[in-house]
Chains A and B, each alone.
Chain A
Amino acid sequence: MILHPGILSLLSGSLLTLLVMLIASGLGIRILLSWDASSSSEGQIILERKTWLVSTLVNYALGFQIFSAFLFIATAEDIHQLFVGAMCATGSLNANLVGWLVLLIKGILLFAAALWVILNRLDQRTEDCPLVRQKYFALLLLTPLVALDGYLQWRYFRGLQPEIITSCCGSLFSADGESVVSELAGMPARQAMLLFFSMTGTHLIVLSACLRFKATILRPLLFMTAVLMLFISLGAIISFISLYIYQMPSHHCPFDMLQSHYGYVGYPIYAALFIATLYGMLPGICQPLRQHESIEKEVDRIERNWLWFSLWATLIFLLISCWQMVFGSFTLLGY
């Protein structure tokens, strides 16, 4: 199974990322140990130069991580044909349960990586780089996560046996069952819609308020709405958005929409949701960092961009996911 082109490139990509992260962590430890912002010794200048190397290395590595998350989903999608009973990525992930764990870690890494890259950029724009210690400490936490991701990925692909009979999305994402997913799938559409639209609505309102007012309370609030919106939207995709996309009243799979016969519509949906959440979280995360004067200046300068990104991404997410609801011939409500 390892010799599938997609799997080969995922595994070699993981190895490469890990290598880059290890080099960066090695340098990071040296910087952490002897960093002294007030000093102007030659050693400090060399360290300052090395921070550029570390950030470039990590930027590339984490950039790959973002692509690798999408490639992983696409590969799980592609190999489903090899398993009896599988009809989309769900089947491939069910064929070896470690797959779900890989997906979870990739999800966490996706956010952690993006946050690190953005905060690092922010820090490097300042004169005094006040976040050096926190950044490199976070880097030392990220590297084991990248290693774990690579290891689990290897375990997942190693453990895939083509003769396994797996279950398709129809049985996992169905209304009758005991799991959380079944609860979501079985939730009445009207309630789910109400929850989803009120949540995205709240997010948009808080976003607009943040754009208009500088009040400190709004930023953590936006962080909360962004995180809640992420989970509720994922639930809504399983609960009713998928039904509209497939135009089938009982098909709740969140992965089938990544296939070509649905026009790969899942990719822009998930990408927009990711961007909306990420940029929605940023102002809240930067709130405690405002104690550093230089960071505060930078945040003030760039925050509006983040808010606009989040706003546009939320609108695009809503537009794509609700397009069928408004213009499609399929009706879910009214019976």
Chain B
Amino acid sequence: MRRQLKILEYTLSSLIRRKAKNFSLIVVYAFTIATLGSVLFLTHALKEEATGSLTEAPALTVQRISAGRHDLIPTHYTTTIKHLPGVKSVTPRVWGYYYDSLIKANLTLIGSNNPPAELLLLDGNLPENPQECAIGKGVADAFGPAIGDNLVLEDNEQKSNRFKITGIFQAESSLLTNDLVILPETTLRTFFSMDPEMATDLVVEVYNPREIKTLAKKIKYLLPDTRPISRDEILHTYDTLFNWRSGMMLAVAIAALISFCILAWDKATGISATEKQEIGILKALGWETADVLTAKFWEGLVLSLTSFLLGILAAWIHVFVFAAPALVPLLKGWSVLFPKFQLTPAIDFYQLFVLAFLTIGPYLVCTIIPSWKTAVTDPEQIMRG
């Protein structure tokens, strides 16, 4: 133990003596780790955010499929589903997308008879009269109105409709409400020219979550033109999607890791004459090959851990303080009205473990052969040279 500490002490002092060389290595190494770390941190945080917001999503959503595409669902399907044992409630939802050419963004319009339960973070109140609406933070920022102002939207027949803004959703819920416009259901039906007997989809609440799969099967059996989607399925999809996206990014970033390894190899091979002489003197003083190898191992570990700490610190600041400006467009998904949300700083030990395994391993391997070459050199030969 004492011996190892002494060797470590020597290693540290020798690292400090060659500040410039090691500093440049640490900078590049930490940068590589920060790149990979940002990808992992960001996807993990986005996944958490998505999972958190989906916990309040309906347990089961039933859509109608016609000619292989999502279609409006007749509201009388509600009765059939309601009679299935285990179903708590069935609510038809009316919602749709609206492209606004002024701000060049898609808005989500939803009927207010059934605003999702988690959307209660509101300044003002939900619309009560036909010509009122509540809007998300992103919509408010894009158009610039306040509560009491009017929002002008063009309906299916290209006629302008004015809606008085009665409420704005607060920023905390902006991942869900950013591009949202809530209108009274009847107004929305007229706006979209939607048949009163139709709805966009049906939301099914179930007493026992374990019965969701069976109920989904029954619904599919009784109403073959429908597609039941459970919350778990959405969660799985999100998980797979984010894993895939971060894996994809990592695969790309591995190229950077490889080039870093080449640099590390090069740095480790090209040891200076003074360094060679130092090792020669150590060996002449009685150090064995094993000791030099141990010193080299400590050197690699100290460099790796320093860079690792700096790298994850940089990644943390990049993702959680600056909201990952370099990666967000690639990882977050497509939408024009991006919510400006603050990611909840969450660090998973597993992510750190993966990152350490991915970065420290290759670096250490790259330095084995050069360190061995240094360690076995003959002291006499070096001193003469």
Contacts and interface: CB of A to CB of B under 8 A. Distances in A.
A6 interface: yes
A81 interface: yes
Interface size class of B (residues with CB under 8 A): 35 or more
Interface string A48-60: 0100110011001
B361 interface: yes
A78 interface: yes
Contacts of A3: 243-244, 247-248, 250-251
Contacts of B355: 9
A8 B353 contact: no
A105 B108 CA distance: 52
Contacts of B232: 84
B6 to A, nearest CB: 18
B331 interface: no
Contacts of A124: 290
B375 A52 contact: yes
B349 A264 contact: yes
A117 to B, nearest CB: 13
Interface in A20-72: 20, 49, 52-53, 56-57, 60, 64, 67-68, 70-71
Interface string A69-85: 01100110111011010
A101 interface: no
Contacts of A264: 349
Contact of B361 (A16, A53, A57, A81): A16
A146 to B, nearest CB: 14
B289 A52 contact: yes
Contact of A2 (B247, B357, B364, B371): B247
Given A5-B247, A71-B354, A52 B368 contact: no
B362 interface: yes
Contact of B236 (A7, A71, A82): A82
A81 B362 contact: no
Contacts of A57: 368
A12 B239 contact: no
B365 A60 contact: yes
Given A64-B361, A162-B236, A6 B354 contact: yes
Range for the number of chain A residues in contact with chain B: 35 or more
Nearest to A61: B365
Interface in A77-129: 77-79, 81-82, 84, 124
Best-surrounded residue of B254, B293, B368 (most CB of chain A within 10 A): B368
State the majority secondary structure of interface residues on B: helix
Contacts of B213: 84
A273 B246 CA distance: 35
B24 to A, nearest CB: 24
A260 B354 CA distance: 16
Contacts of A8: 247, 250-251, 254, 358
A4 interface: yes
Given A5-B243, A82-B236, A13 B357 contact: yes
Contacts of A60: 364-365, 368
Nearest to A125: B290
A75 B293 CA distance: 32
Contacts of B290: 52, 124
A53 B369 contact: yes
A81 B236 contact: yes
Contacts of B351: 5
Interface string B32-48: 00000001100100000
A49 B376 contact: yes
B254 A12 contact: yes
A78 B350 contact: yes
Contacts of B235: 81
B99 interface: no
Nearest to A64: B361
A89 to B, nearest CB: 12
Contacts of A162: 236, 240
Nearest to A46: B376
Nearest to B300: A60
Residues of A contacting B: mostly: helix
A5 B293 contact: no
Contacts of B358: 5, 8-9, 12-13
B184 to A, nearest CB: 39
Contacts of B240: 82, 162
Contacts of B287: none
Interface of A: 2-10, 12-13, 16, 20, 49, 52-53, 56-57, 60, 64, 67-68, 70-71, 74-75, 77-79, 81-82, 84, 124, 162, 264
A75 B243 CA distance: 12
A6 B239 CA distance: 13
B143 interface: no
A6 B254 contact: no
B23 interface: no
Contact of A9 (B43, B354, B372, B375): B354
A4 B350 contact: no
Contacts of B248: 3
Contact of B376 (A2, A52, A70, A79): A52
Contact of A71 (B247, B353, B362, B365): B353
Given A4-B244, A9-B354, 18 more contacts: A3-B247, A3-B248, A5-B40, A5-B246, A5-B351, A5-B354, A9-B355, A12-B362, A16-B361, A56-B293, A56-B372, A70-B353, A71-B353, A74-B353, A79-B243, A82-B236, A162-B240, A264-B349
A4 B372 contact: no
Interface in B8-54: 39-40, 43
Interface string B340-363: 000000000111011101100110
A10 B232 CA distance: 27
Contacts of B239: 81-82
A284 B113 CA distance: 76
Q: Which of B236, B351, B354, B371 has the most CB of A within 10 A?
A: B354
A229 B8 CA distance: 37
A80 B39 CA distance: 21
Given A68-B357, A84-B236, A6 B350 contact: yes
Contacts of A64: 357, 361
A154 B342 CA distance: 37
A4 B247 contact: yes
A10 B247 CA distance: 12
A20 B364 CA distance: 11
A4 B246 CA distance: 7
Contacts of B246: 5
